[in-house]
Amino acid sequence: MFEINELILKKAKELGFGDVVVLAYEQNRRQVRFANNEITVAKNWHTQKVNLFVEYQKRLASTTLTALDEKTIEKTLQMLMKSVKNLAPKEDYYGIAEGPFEYKDIPETFDKAIVELDEPNEYVEVAINAALEEGAKRTAGVLYTDHNKLYLTTSNGVEAFDEGTGIEISIRAFIGDEESGHGTNSVRVLKKFDPESAGRKAGEIAKMAVNPVQGEAGTFDVIFDPLAFANLMSYMSFMASAFAVEAGFSFLVGKLGQKVANDIVTIKDVGNMPNAYGTRKFDDEGVPTRETTIIENGTLNTYLLNTSFARKYKRETTANAGLLMPEAWNVYVEPGDYSKEELFSEVKRGIYITNVWYTRFQNYVTGDFSTIPRDGAFLIENGEIVKPIRNIRVSDNFQHILESIEALGKDLYHIHWWEVATPVFTPYVLVKDVGITKATK
């Protein structure tokens, strides 16, 4: 693919473009979806594409090329030039990174065994059976295998290659209509894949959730399961992007250097973490990915930046390009020192929430939001789970949640599924005084 990248770059420069980024993908993705303990559909995607970003005198344009012959490439570049030439410039554009860079291999991001895996259905069966053994009646979920190759060429001297694999499963187990649990497992190398643990957790929670009673509204101490807290953190990752901040989609607007969370809270983006689903060697400009501390001991340290945003704010890039919109790779919540049992023993009267979905904001800049617990939710009294509850809603404020984090578990869990698009590493989290509401009538 590098020959095609070089050709695109050469032709773009000939036409007069300034900064040029050519990012080519070869992707093989396989999916097995299942419901009611049987496979509903199995899929395969084969994609070859080039994401192309060009700049002409501070005028920016981008497109994706799927036909990669010389004629299409030339026609596309000419069309891009014609389209951007008359546009007004983006005055706050400050260019892309100066390469070349050196890249290190990141452990546990590629496994030939996943590429060669003929048929992953046995892993689906393992997860389903584990859930059924725990007492589930029905299961539904999805398994993916991934094999990606990434070729990056830029006008600033970058030529970079990355190859990665992954396998993951997400399974939800049901007993009745309202008794369910959820488990996930996402890894980059086959020998670490543990579909059984996902199925078992889903089944265990479903069983604990039998015969739920209507939950009460009020203010409660809440233990968020990693699955639930990861959902909130994936929104947090979007809000940490400098683009989201400028566009009014973030409660972190104007809060650099300010306290936005309790002292015990440190949240990072780690682009180069071994065995993590979002890990890549380099960002879209070719800058080697790294660890960036977004919130350090409760204080907002930085937004996620690409080179242009970094120059605008007189900072260093955090290696999170996205050229228009910087993005997180793997969100990482620093663990605390509580065992799960110790965390529960801190709660006199509270709620254990195992999963949430449908997080929506009343106002992004103030951070007012609500989200709905799904799967088992449980009332805790004196450190013990006393009964399953249902039909409640977390209705609170994002910053208030971060400021009210009282304790963090010591074990981290890697969460990535339909509702958590940006992978998140998080422990169990205890939050004080969380607003809980319920529907009336």
Partner 1 sequence: MHELVEFAVEKAQELGASYAEARFEEKSGTEIVMKNGNPEGLGILADRGIGIRVLVNGGMGFASTNVLTKESVEEAVKKAVKLAKAAAKLRNKPIQFSEEDFHQVFYEVKMKKDFRDVSAEEKMEYLKLIEERVKETGVNVPMRFLRYGDFMWHKVFMNNEGALVESLIPRVSVTYNLVVFEEGQMEQAPFVQRAFSGGLELIEKDKPWEWAVKDVKALQRLIKEGQKPPEGKVDVVISPEVAGIAVHESVGHPYELDRIMGREAAQAGESFVKPEMLGERIGSEAVTVIEDPTIPNSWGFYLYDDEGVKARPRYLIREGIINELLMNREYAAYLGMKSNAAARAINYNREPIVRMANTYLAPGDYSFEELIEDVKLGVYMVSFNEWNIDDRRYQQRYIGREAYLIENGEIKHPVRRPILEITTKGLWSSVDAVGKEVEFYPGTCGKGEPGQGVPVWMGGAHARLRDVVLRR
Footprint (CB under 8 A) of partner 1, residues 144-173: 170-172
| CB contact at 8 A, 405 and 261 | yes
Q: How far apart are CA 127 and CA 41, in angstroms?
A: 17
Quick note: the x/- pattern for partner 1 over 115-134, rule CB under 8 A, is: ----x-x--xx---------
Footprint on residues 49-68 left by partner 1 (CB under 8 A): 49, 59-67
Footprint on residues 98-117 left by partner 1 (CB under 8 A): none
Residue 297 burial (C-beta neighbours within 10 Å; 0-12, 13-18, 19+): middle
Q: Taking CB under 8 A as the rule, does residue 412 contact partner 1?
A: no
Q: Taking CB under 8 A as the rule, does residue 249 contact partner 1?
A: yes
In the set 138, 290, 340, 400, which binds partner 1 (CB under 8 A)? 138
Q: ∠ CA(175), CA(177), CA(182), 5° rounding?
A: 60
Q: Which is nearer to partner 1, 91 or 102 (CB)?
A: 91
Footprint on residues 8-37 left by partner 1 (CB under 8 A): 30-37
What is the DSSP track for 291-341? Answer: EEEEEETTEE---B--HHHHHHTTS---S---SSS---S-EEEPP-SB-HH
Contacts (Cβ under 8 Å, ≥6 apart) of 144:
29, 30, 31, 166, 167, 168, 169
Closest approach of partner 1 to the CB of residue 85, in Å? 9
Bridge-based pairing of strands 299-300 and 159-174 is unpaired
Q: How far apart are CA 251 and CA 367, in angstroms?
A: 5
Q: Taking CB under 8 A as the rule, does residue 363 contact partner 1?
A: yes
Q: Taking CB under 8 A as the rule, does residue 92 contact partner 1?
A: yes
Footprint on residues 306-345 left by partner 1 (CB under 8 A): 324
Q: Which is nearer to partner 1, 42 or 256 (CB)?
A: 42
Closest approach of partner 1 to the CB of residue 297, in Å? 27
Q: Taking CB under 8 A as the rule, does residue 433 contact partner 1?
A: no
Closest approach of partner 1 to the CB of residue 298, in Å? 23
Q: Which is nearer to partner 1, 213 or 411 (CB)?
A: 213
User: If we measure between CA atoms, which residue out of 266, 270, 267 comes closest to residue 278?
Assistant: 270
Q: Taking CB under 8 A as the rule, does residue 361 contact partner 1?
A: yes
